[in-house]
Every structure is written in structure tokens, then in C-alpha cells.
Structure 1
């Protein structure tokens, strides 16, 4: 076997030479690229290692934000990776030219903080955890016609499905997505070597959802007006227009559950964070809302949307979405043609990220950009000296638009109306019943894999009823069961 050693050594040397040659070639192309005219750190032309680390740790948004502050609204952070925070360019990226999404969003990891079983209520609660559970059960009600028992552990599971299996579905989905996506760059490396890392959902989860699907297909009396029923009845395989399989339905439902819980729970938590850290806003907001007992009827989204009493709450939500958009940025890419943006020429297959957060915090468009100032969104004398916002909200084609909380164009958030309804209902029904204070000493930071979330997955507050009664903190059960009104 000794004769093989020189051959292996030679093969290894040739492989290293090929890899080094490819790297040098890529660097030369990057340096000569028209993107070299775009400002950015010196190492941006050489490597994407810093970006990979940023995506893996959820801190890439910090890199982009710091780069915008140092280099301006258009900045190059990689050989073919550019971030844009200019409102005119943003309109082109999202609406006019309508650049397609980058493929990486199909592989990026989700939040690693999965839902746990409910804790008993105390004066001090983890509001972030509770909001996540509420969002999960709301999505359960609307997607499967039944909650997952995150809020009410005594809630019965689907007929014919074991209780522990039904309640484990959210954890299985989030753990499965993390397993599938969190090593995105490692998967790509193996793929280039001809090795494809396969993924599948837990067998028990597939079996449980398949049981529901088959029961509804056989017995129409078991059908319900929920998302699962829509997929069973209307869902088609885009490849051949055949009926969706259980596996395809599970994939679609998992993505919906992920999007519907991670986005709204994190955004509502940021709203409460801004309210408690701005005492004047909090006092004005609570004074504008009615005082209810925990067991009073649930306030509906329609009532909140159309009643004058809730206009300041709606303004607070809009301002929160400015400071804390669902995602700090969203990647797009140029196609096979060159694209002109902001006086720069972008070659084909360039990643162009729309920096929502940086745009929303740009003093050029938003006076006192870091101030939580809900009055921006009111009208006339109610604005109380606040500047008018840089848009009329429905006018996504306006050249004055500098506000993209749910993106824009055909790739905008498909669940925007659902998200608005859920944010309004949760915020209104909580703040009409309870006052809250932040537990001191917490280090609040954020991370982004797909959406912006609290980095630790936790945020603790103390709560007390606004009505003069002695009452335990609500289980949120009535609110999740009212999800059908969304």
C-alpha cells in the first residue's frame, strides 16, 4: 500500500492548488468588479467569512447597521453582497424592478429558543415566553382548528391523536427547522462535494397530521374553516397540479407556523418594551384605553381598528414597527441583467439587501429617529408637534415612502392583515387589563436569523391588574380562542 502514499499526496497538492487558484481568481474578479466603487470595509472584496459568522450568530444586522453609519446608505460588505438603505433604491428593489429573493432564506435557521411547557404565574413573569405561547396557540386555532395546549395544558388534543404528540408538534417543527437550516453554509459545502444532507420531520408528527388529513378527506363533517382544510381542499402540487401529499402539507404548515409565531410575538414584545421604557407614552396610552377586568369580553380587531379610543394604540404599533421592523433586512438578488441603483451598476447575480431598519432609523427621513414618538402617526393637533411621517401608509408607490415594516411589492408579507389583527388584539386586551414594569438588570439585545427576536428569548416584567380587584394573571386562553375573529 506504500505506493499509494505518493499518489494521495500528489492528489492532495493538486486539490490545494486548484482551491488556491479558484480563490485568487475570485479575488481578482471581486477587485475588478464595478462593485469596487461602492464604499465598504477593505476586506469586503476578499471574503464572506465575516458575513457567514454574522448570519450564524444572528448578528449580521449589527454589521450592516454599523457599516451604514460609517459608509452611507449603500455599502458593500462582501465580494457580491451589498446593503441598501436609500428610500429611492428601496422602492426600486422591492416594487419597481422587483428583484427576486435570495435562495439563502430557504435555509437560514430560525430561533433556537423553542417553546417550553407553561410556568406557573407569579408577580414576575417572562412576557416574551408567554407571548410566544399565545402566538403558537393562535396559529394552532387558525391553522388546525385547535390550539397546541401551550396556554392551557388541559386542552384536549385532536381526536385520534395522542395528547403528548399533539402538544409536541410546535417543538418538533422548530427543532426540525433548526436542524434543517442552521448549518446552511456547511450544507452548501457538502453539496459542492456531491453529498446532499437529507432532512425529514419526526415520524410521530407526520403520523399525527396525516391522521387529521385522512380523517377530513374521508369525512366532510370533520372539515373546519382553517388553513389545513384549505390546503386539503385547494392545495395543488405546482409541478403537476396534483393534490398535495401529506408531506407537502406538513412542509407548508410548518413554514406558516414559524412565520406566524416568530414575527408577531417578537414585535409585540418590542412594543411593550418601548412602552415601559417611555413613561410619558405609557401614561398617555393607558389613559386612552378603557380599564377592564381579566374576565371581561375580548376586544376584537375590528373594534380596535375602527374605534377612536384606540387610535393612540394603533399609532404606538406603527411607531414600534418603524423602530423594530419584522426583519432588519431582506435579501434580494439581481438576475441575469445589470441593474442601476443609486448611481451604481450592479452585475448579474449580486446580492442586494434592503436595509429596512437602517432606513427607518435614518435622521434624513425621520427626525429624532431613535425616539419612540407615536404622535408621528396622528393627525392635526393630535400630532402635538411631532413631524409628519415620510409616507402615506397605503401609498407604496410614493417617492416619499421611507417605511417598509412588512416589505413591499409582490414579495411583501402575505400575512400582513393577520399580523395587524393579532398585534392589535393582544396589545389592546393586555393593556386594558394590566399595567406592567420591566424587571431591572436585564440585558436586552437582539438577533436575527430570519426575523428580529430578543437574543436570549426572554424578557421579564412584573404585572398588576388595572382594575381594583385581586385576580391571577390571565392564562391568555380566551384570547387564543377568540382567534377565529381574526
Structure 2
């Protein structure tokens, strides 16, 4: 076929494409959502949203739009963001709108996703019910010996570096470290120990890999998981575009990673004696795991998918949140002075303080208040995407038609001065009681969603609290921390809020009885 003969075909295809787009624009402009305030281009396109999701900057667009247009804003043809307190409760708890389809796209297999990517109500209910026993407070308390090993590795790393600095040729009383990287590494090791029965040697490189698996492969698993999930998140719209033309793009895990975890799973399956079985999440999935769609036994690939999502959720979320806690402490000297004074000075040879002691001992009240205040200013995620189902939903006096994407803006709600006086102030006293509040306003718990809410609230809340408490209490009982000046700290969100550069440099000093 000659080129001139292709021109009419191209013209017809172009006409159909333009017609389809024009129809969508016309319908969007006539939508009930047109009454909702927002930028003029919101009803016409989602290109700005696609860019925002791909770069991790969509949260900035949402927050600036809330400040300009109010607690409800339209940012796309069928995309709405809400930061209103009453509507938030309706979205997350009372009506409990389903999650948007984008979360399923993040999973390797969108038809058999992990808990984070499961958007179907009944399979999600089954999966959460199955996983919940492994995330109770009592279960997490039993795992704290594993937490202790990883926390001690982190403390010993700093102690060794400080000893070298103090007694070496330079005689320096402090060390500089990338604290964000350190926190990420210890979070990965904790998740590795508690989920796979083996850390990834991120904090202590001397730790051995799983028997029968090359060390370099085992230690590469975390990076493979993070890169894989980030790429899926960034390419959601890209995948959907090609699917419309019958092209299904799949992003699988690296073959070596699958082989390594499969070897671990097969080794676990050969253990018959109950006494020799390790009571962790992986063993729970091997013994009892069922596909939530049809309740057949989980395959090794499905176990890998579940564990990968849990590893991501259990490490990226807590490491980023703990980093923000130390960021606020370093930038608020009066808070730091008061916090350090409340904590007993310990050496690296002293026992590790466990989560049970920290949550029950009054000596740690101010530390717990600091963590709660940090979760207000820096929730795990800036938002959670939901959608209306087959029914219309009224929010803030606006009728939202079926299949409207409704994003719950947690971070904006947490920083709303109507509910949180002096919203940008790091003010831990909000969370204390009586005279200890020192004039601070009481917290508005109806405007507080650090771990989301309702049926889709974070299953790992108890795990996250244990890790945050143990890392913060044990570090601050032994070391002091300052921020290296001149750093531009900004945030991006793919799955959770993280430092844009993935780095935060700090100066660490040994604590003494005088500080």
C-alpha cells in the first residue's frame, strides 16, 4: 500500500480520536462536578495529574489547590480532592468508599494483588482477616527480640564510628552520616527478620544471607522491590493507555529475586516438625495462605507478591516517618532539650528498651507525644484515593456521580488551623494531659488520620508504632543529633511520603549525663 493511500485512513483515525476527546470534554463540562471549585482546565484534561503522579509531586498540586479553592477542589474531569473533617469521616469510615483502581495497577498481577493493591471489597476483607493475627500488639511484642537485634546493630555502627573518630588521629567528638539511609536500612533489616526470618544485611553487612542463596542476590531483594513498585506507580497511566489498544504491559520481579525467595519458601515447606517452624509472617502464608479471590492455596509467586508489598509498606513507611521525627527534633531545639532530659542516658552495652516499656512507662510520655505530633505533621501518606461506587454520594453539599475519584487529603486536614491551632508548629504538648500541656490545645482526634481509617486503615499500625518507639528511644538515650546545615529537604510521594533526594545528612554525638 502506497503512502498516499494511507492518508485517508490516518485522517479517519485522527477524526475519531478528536471526536472521542471532544465528547469527553463536552461531557466533563456538563458534569455535576463542574459546580465544584477548581482550576479552569480541570474539566478538560488529566495531563497535569499524570505528570504529578509520575514525578511524585501531585500532593503539592493538591495542597496549593486546597489553599486557593477550599476544602473541596476539582482537579480533573472526574477527580476531586477533599480535606473537610466531616467528609473525611464519611469517605473513610461511615460510607467507606472503595479504593481507586490505581492501587491494583501497582501490584505485579492486578487480578491477584496484595493487601495494598486489593480494591475488591470481599477479597480485601478475606485477606485482611487472614493477615491481621500477624499484626496484633501481642504478636508484635513476641517479635521484639528480632527488633532488638537490628536496633543494636544500628547503635553499634554509630558507637564504632564515634570511637574511631574520638580516639583516632583527628580526635573528633562527632560523626556525620546519611541518617535517612541508615533508617531505611534498619527498617529493611527489621522487616527481613520479622517477615522472611532473615535480615538483608543492610545495617550490618557481616550478617549472612539465606543458606543456599548468593549473598549479593539476597541483599539486592529490597532494591528490586522498591524499584519495581515505584515503576508501576509511575507508569499507571502509561499501562492503561496501551491496555486500551489491547496491549497488556506487565512488570515482573527480577528472576533472581523470585528464585531466592522461592528457595527460601521451598526450604520452609520441607520443615514438618511444628517446633522447628519459625513463627513469622512467611510461615503463616506458607501454611495458611489462600488466594482471596477463590480461596485456593497461595502459589509461591503469590506469596512473593504478598511479602513484597508488606516489605515495602513496613519499611518505606516507617523509615520516612522516623526520619521526619528526627528532622523535627533537630529543628526544634527546645523540644529536643526537653525530650533528651526526659530520657535516661544509656550506653550501647545496656539492654535495648522494648516497645512494651516505652508505651507503658511514664518516663516515655514526652517521646510518645513527639511521635504523635510528628504523625500529625507528617502522616504516612498525604492522601488516599477512593471512588464513588454505583451510587451518588453527597459531600459538602455537592452531589458526586458514580465513578468519581475522591482523594482524602490527610496532610491538608492535619495542617488546618481550624482544628489544629498553630498548625505548622511542632507542639508535642498537644498530646499530654493536665499541667504537662503547658497551655497547648487539645488534639482534635476527629481530624487525625495518620494511618488512614475504616476498613482500609493500615494493618501494620502496631508494627510501625513498635519500630518508631524502639528506634527513637534507644537512639536518643545514647546519642544526640543535629542537622547538617544547608540541606534542601523536600518531599515526594509515590506510595508514601519520602524525602525527595532519599538523603538527609546529620551530625551524631555521644550523649552524656550533662545532655
Using the size of structure 2 for normalisation, the TM-score is 0.85
Q: For residues 68-467 of structure 1, what are the structure 2 equivalents within 5 Å?
A: 68-107=66-105, 121=161, 123-221=175-273, 223-391=277-445, 401-467=446-512
C-alpha contact (below 8 Å) 2:328/2:374 kept by paired residues: yes
> Could you report, residue by residue, the CA deviation over 1:260-305 in whole angstroms, capped at 9, with x for unpaired residues?
1110000000000001111111100000011011221100000000
Deviation at 1:54, TM superposition (A): 0.8
Deviation at 1:109, TM superposition (A): 10
> Could you report, residue by residue, the CA deviation over 1:2-39 in whole angstroms, capped at 9, with x for unpaired residues?
3xx34421121111111111111111111111111111
C-alpha contact (below 8 Å) 1:109/1:450 kept by paired residues: no
C-alpha contact (below 8 Å) 2:289/2:297 kept by paired residues: yes
* Matches of 2:322 and 2:207, distance apart in 1: 25
Deviation at 1:199, TM superposition (A): 2.4
Deviation at 1:104, TM superposition (A): 1.0
* Matches of 1:160 and 1:138, distance apart in 2: 21
Q: Secondary structure at the match of 1:220?
A: coil
> Could you report, residue by residue, the CA deviation over 1:243-270 in whole angstroms, capped at 9, with x for unpaired residues?
2111110011000001011100000000
Deviation at 1:466, TM superposition (A): 0.3
C-alpha contact (below 8 Å) 2:233/2:495 kept by paired residues: no
C-alpha contact (below 8 Å) 2:55/2:234 kept by paired residues: no
Q: Among 20, 26, 29, which residue is 1:28 paired with?
A: 26
| Structure 1 moving runs of 4+ over 4 Å | 118-122
Deviation at 1:450, TM superposition (A): 1.3
* Matches of 1:158 and 1:41, distance apart in 2: 54
C-alpha contact (below 8 Å) 2:66/2:73 kept by paired residues: yes
Q: For residues 55-74 of structure 1, what are the structure 2 equivalents within 5 Å?
A: 55-74=53-72
Deviation at 1:362, TM superposition (A): 0.5
Deviation at 1:333, TM superposition (A): 0.2
C-alpha contact (below 8 Å) 1:109/1:181 kept by paired residues: no
C-alpha contact (below 8 Å) 2:358/2:364 kept by paired residues: yes
Relative to total residues, which structure has the larger helix share, 1 or 2?
A: 2
C-alpha contact (below 8 Å) 1:109/1:449 kept by paired residues: no
- For structure 1, the residue ranges without an aligned partner over 5 or more in a row are 111-117, 392-400, 470-486
Q: Secondary structure at the match of 1:430?
A: helix
Deviation at 1:209, TM superposition (A): 1.3
Q: Among 31, 36, 39, which residue is 1:38 paired with?
A: 36
* Matches of 2:394 and 2:467, distance apart in 1: 39
Deviation at 1:204, TM superposition (A): 1.7
Deviation at 1:143, TM superposition (A): 0.3
* Matches of 2:352 and 2:65, distance apart in 1: 45
* Matches of 1:199 and 1:389, distance apart in 2: 43
Aligned to 1:13: 11
What is the count of residue pairs matched by the alignment? 451
- For structure 2, the residue ranges without an aligned partner over 5 or more in a row are 109-156, 166-174
C-alpha contact (below 8 Å) 1:319/1:374 kept by paired residues: yes
* Matches of 2:334 and 2:385, distance apart in 1: 37
